[in-house]
Structure 1
Amino acid sequence: MSINYRNLTCSTADALVIYLLEDNLAVSNEELNKNIKFAEERELFKGKNGEIYRFTRALDNTIQTVVLVGLGKEENLTLDNVREATGKGVKKVKALGLKNIFLRVPHTEKINLEELIKTMATSAELASYTFNKYKTSEMEEKELNISISRCGIKEATKEIEEAINEGVEVAKGIIIARNLVNEPSNVIYPETLAEEAIKVGKESGFEVEVHGVDKIKALKMEAFYNVAKGSSKEPKLIVMRYFGDKDNKDNVLGLVGKGLTYDSGGYSIKPTDSMLDMKSDMGGAASVIGAMSIIAKRGLKLNVIAVVAACENLISGEAYKPGEVIGTMAGKTIEVVNTDAEGRLTLVDAVHYIITEEKVNEVIDLATLTGAALVALGETTTAVVTNNQNFFEELKSASEYTGDKMWQLPAFDDYKKLIKSDIADLKNSGGRFAGTITAGLFIEAFVQDKPWLHLDIAGTAWTSKNSDLGVKGGTGAPVHTLYELAKRRSK
């Protein structure tokens, strides 16, 4: 897909998408205003947030489809409104089989022009996303050509061109994560996930180092290895490094993504229905790869290291079993009470590794960790557990800008009692109550008092239905927020 400033004009596009505010249903074109007035008088379109209306008009020797999308009242206008309107408009035009689309930037004092254009570019890319590569009967999709501008403006400033470029690059990072999550587990497994990380690193400008089972054993990553050993596919420790601030190499942000490329539950086996989408259990890994891509492409002035402990959780004569006591890279012992609480076992070794070996100063871990997060917050909100309130407020501010919803859960010491073991330092599950919290606090036991955020994306990394900005499957959340947090730190 091509998104540009002005390859098309209001009159040369197959489709014209017009954003309208509820309190200003007018554009600088008399003919269009008559049509808009017609729709308003017949109560077909009033500009309410999320409202959409389509008509056609004769134009020279052809016809043009015009799509009106509502933004609501200007006083309530947010970037989320712009995202929704863009998604609705692009999906409507795409469904009609049209390929040359002009998105007419709305006139508003509420949001500056560059922010509007950047958001429209990101949203247009995401709304156009599909994952049909395995449908042999699927017709080849038309390549979309989208221009974003205001009718009558001829020249793009450097700021506008940069806004479009950034918006597109953000979307492409999100799409990297979506594609990785949507690939089936016979295509993406530890080795191929590592290959994809290497490929993205080369294209984006960050270093990737991959360690196999011998190095994992040498590092004494026993928890990680115990989860992995039930599969015939070798685990991989994937380390991604980006140093954009080489004068401050001691100041490094750490990202850790859960990389279970498939999770059967092990001997604590999942029911079949719960296994169908378990290719998505590496959503955390996909998100950090996508975020690293944007951070490196944008050349941000900060240092980021990301780590993924990639493996499968399967059943075999080698697989770990409930009741076992296993070690960790940190030296702590863990009683395994549930082999389906495996992600936290891989994460604690990855967290310990990134702190002790890569010397990061703070850590964000991302994981499709608990069904409890989905039960509590649904598919719209990421659960967050932290040991540092300032770090959380920084994340929250970035997420409010990007539209990724976050909700902080309590981390009281009382919850830590639920993961105490009678025979080991910890047990890997605290039971049904407060499952998302206890899973997070299990990881906290290995962060060595570093500022830490745990993002449980079990509900947000995957969606069960189509939306304005995507389709059923991987969402790419919260890639945009990770990038935005990094961008705000970039000097």
Structure 2
Amino acid sequence: MKFGINTIQIEAADAVIIPVMHKEFEKIEGFENTIKHLFDTEKFKAECGEIFVLSSLKNDNYQNIVFVGIGKEKEVSGEKIRNAFSKAIKKCRELKVEKVFVNNIEIEGLNCNQVINAMVEGIGFGDYKFDKYKTDKKEQKDIEISIGNVPSEKDVKEYVSEAVTLVQATLFARDLVNEPANVMTPKALAKAASNAGKECGFKVEVFDKAQIKELNMKAFLSVTAGSENPPRLIVMKYFGDKDSKEILGLVGKGLTYDSGGYSIKTNSGMVTMKSDMGGGAAVIGAISAIAKRKLKVNVVAVVAACENLISGGAYKPGDIIGSMAGKTIEVLSTDAEGRLTLADAVYYAVSKENVTRVVDIATLTGAALTALGITTTAVVANDKNFYSELEKASFKSGEKMWQLPAFDEYKKLIKSDIADLKNTGGKFAGTITAGLFIGEFAQKKPWLHLDIAGTAWRDNEDGYYSKGGTGAGVRTLYYLAKNE
């Protein structure tokens, strides 16, 4: 898909997408009477995501006018625009068009950048599908998108460029998650990160099992012990501000497959466990966007990639294992494995890469789904200012976040009678105790834990999300790094 500004005249387009607000027909120059008639006859009410198509022949060209509702002006948000435009581009695909003119619109309460960004993201995300393994699939033709009626062509080009980068990075993360686990092994994930580094401009170092052992990452290695596919520690570095000593650490859970180990999952619980590296995919996507946009910031991203399987050498409930930090851990469940890999990865980022602040992101707990469903990412934090920056980034991306409490009483739940820590805190407050377990390895640095267990995957098409991986976290982490 190719985006441009005023690259197609409205008369030459196969389709024209016109966003319409409820009863605000005066704002659509050239289509005021048509929209008023649609409102008066109640054929179109401009409800968010509502589509109405008018088709006609003009100069021997068949043209479709795609009116897309975005709701009442005072209620319009970036998310509503994304969802509406994802439906509009799907309608364009149905109409088999190749050239689309998008009419920009002024919306009270949103600046031009927010509107353009949401339009581009809605189109880019809505046009995505993962069908590479279908033998009878038809190749989709590229659609050329031209955005018109813009206030400043130079500024809007920059807005579109950033939005396209974020679309590409997010869809890259979706692709990584959607690949089956027999393809997306730890080695393959490391290769994908290396290729992204070459393309986008960040350095990648990949540690093999022997090197991981030299680092004394005992918790990480315990999780990998049951698999024949060896682990990889993926370390990605981008230094865009040589004058600053501040380094943002991004640590993503990289379980390319999770059976639960001896605390085995049900068959239905295992089917989607190729997605357990959604956090790893998010940080790879985020640093790709950060580097491509050449942000003035220093970032180190870390992914401890492995599989959690069963064999005679696999770790077991009741085992006591070590960690890179020297803390001992009582394993109460081998299905609480992500926090073990993240413990070593977070400690590595702090102790070896000298990050000054660290964010970990992981598909970690079913409790996050129970508490917040599939719309909101759960957050555990130890620093108010850092969380405030995350809130600001979340507002820009439209990805909903919610902070959970982290009182000292919760920390008592992960203390072990026979080791320093235990890897589950019992049946209560599971998302909080899992996060606080990882926080024990952050060395008191400003730290955020993002549990995307609910937001990283969709069982069905939902708005601008296709079925499968969502790429959750990529855009929020990008805006957190940008911090404007």
**Shorter-chain TM band:** over 0.9
Partner of 2:413: 418
Question: Matched residues in 1 for 2:115 and 2:28: separation?
Answer: 19
Deviations 1:272-307 (A, max 9, x none): 000000000000000000000110011000100010
Equivalent residue in structure 2 for 1:333, among 325, 328, 332: 328
Residue 157 (structure 1) aligned with residue 156 (structure 2): no
Displacement, 1:163? Answer: 1.1
Question: Matched residues in 2 for 1:109 and 1:404: separation?
Answer: 21
Partner of 2:193: 197
SS in 1 for 2:97: coil
Tell me, yes or no, if the aligned pair for 2:253 and 2:342 is still in contact at 8 Å: yes
SS in 1 for 2:140: coil
Question: Matched residues in 2 for 1:402 and 1:475: separation?
Answer: 13
SS in 2 for 1:168: helix
Residue 342 (structure 1) aligned with residue 337 (structure 2): yes
SS in 2 for 1:246: coil
SS in 1 for 2:285: helix
Tell me, yes or no, if the aligned pair for 1:264 and 1:270 is still in contact at 8 Å: yes
Question: Matched residues in 1 for 2:473 and 2:10: separation?
Answer: 34
Question: Matched residues in 1 for 2:440 and 2:107: separation?
Answer: 49
Question: Matched residues in 1 for 2:398 and 2:29: separation?
Answer: 33
Tell me, yes or no, if the aligned pair for 2:377 and 2:455 is still in contact at 8 Å: yes
Displacement, 1:109? Answer: 4.3
Partner of 1:56: 55
Instruction: Tell me how large the CA RMSD over aligned residues is.
Output: 1.5
Displacement, 1:37? Answer: 2.6
Residue 469 (structure 1) aligned with residue 468 (structure 2): no
Partner of 1:278: 273
Deviations 1:169-224 (A, max 9, x none): 01101111100000000111110100000000010000000001111111110000
The 3 A distance-change label for structure 1 pair 70 and 318 is same
Partner of 1:18: 18
Residue 139 (structure 1) aligned with residue 138 (structure 2): yes
User: TM-score w.r.t. structure 1 length?
Assistant: 0.96
Equivalent residue in structure 1 for 2:231, among 235, 257, 260: 235
How does 1:148-227 map onto structure 2 within 5 Å?
148-150=147-149, 157-227=153-223
1:12 is aligned with what amino acid?
Answer: A
Displacement, 1:156? Answer: 6.1
% identical equivalent positions: 54
Question: Matched residues in 1 for 2:316 and 2:378: separation?
Answer: 29
1:242 is aligned with what amino acid?
Answer: Y
2:19 is aligned with what amino acid?
Answer: Y
Which deviates the most, 429-438 or 351-360? 429-438
SS in 2 for 1:366: strand
User: TM-score w.r.t. structure 2 length?
Assistant: 0.97
Question: Matched residues in 1 for 2:231 and 2:148: separation?
Answer: 48
Tell me, yes or no, if the aligned pair for 1:205 and 1:297 is still in contact at 8 Å: yes
Question: Matched residues in 2 for 1:107 and 1:306: separation?
Answer: 38
1:194 is aligned with what amino acid?
Answer: A
Question: Matched residues in 1 for 2:8 and 2:197: separation?
Answer: 34
How does 1:451-470 map onto structure 2 within 5 Å?
451-470=446-465
Displacement, 1:71? Answer: 2.1
Residue 289 (structure 1) aligned with residue 284 (structure 2): yes
Tell me, yes or no, if the aligned pair for 2:389 and 2:483 is still in contact at 8 Å: no
Tell me, yes or no, if the aligned pair for 1:128 and 1:470 is still in contact at 8 Å: no
SS in 2 for 1:196: helix
How does 1:258-273 map onto structure 2 within 5 Å?
258-273=253-268
Displacement, 1:6? Answer: 2.3
Question: Matched residues in 1 for 2:385 and 2:28: separation?
Answer: 47
Partner of 2:89: 90
Deviations 1:209-264 (A, max 9, x none): 0001111111110000010111011100100000000111x210001000000000
Question: Matched residues in 1 for 2:115 and 2:470: separation?
Answer: 22
Tell me, yes or no, if the aligned pair for 1:440 and 1:454 is still in contact at 8 Å: yes
SS in 1 for 2:426: coil
Partner of 1:323: 318
Tell me, yes or no, if the aligned pair for 2:458 and 2:465 is still in contact at 8 Å: no
Displacement, 1:28? Answer: 5.6
Tell me, yes or no, if the aligned pair for 1:25 and 1:47 is still in contact at 8 Å: no
Partner of 2:308: 313
Which deviates the most, 271-280 or 63-72? 63-72
| Unpaired runs of at least 5, structure 1 | none
Residue 439 (structure 1) aligned with residue 439 (structure 2): no
Question: Matched residues in 1 for 2:303 and 2:349: separation?
Answer: 10
Partner of 2:77: 78
| Unpaired runs of at least 5, structure 2 | none
The 3 A distance-change label for structure 1 pair 52 and 217 is same
Question: Matched residues in 2 for 1:29 and 1:267: separation?
Answer: 64
Equivalent residue in structure 2 for 1:404, among 392, 399, 402: 399
Residue 47 (structure 1) aligned with residue 46 (structure 2): yes
Deviations 1:389-437 (A, max 9, x none): 1111110111012110001111111112221211111111112211101
SS in 2 for 1:133: coil
Partner of 2:66: 67
Tell me, yes or no, if the aligned pair for 1:91 and 1:468 is still in contact at 8 Å: no
Displacement, 1:488? Answer: 1.8
Question: Matched residues in 1 for 2:231 and 2:28: separation?
Answer: 60
Tell me, yes or no, if the aligned pair for 1:254 and 1:364 is still in contact at 8 Å: yes
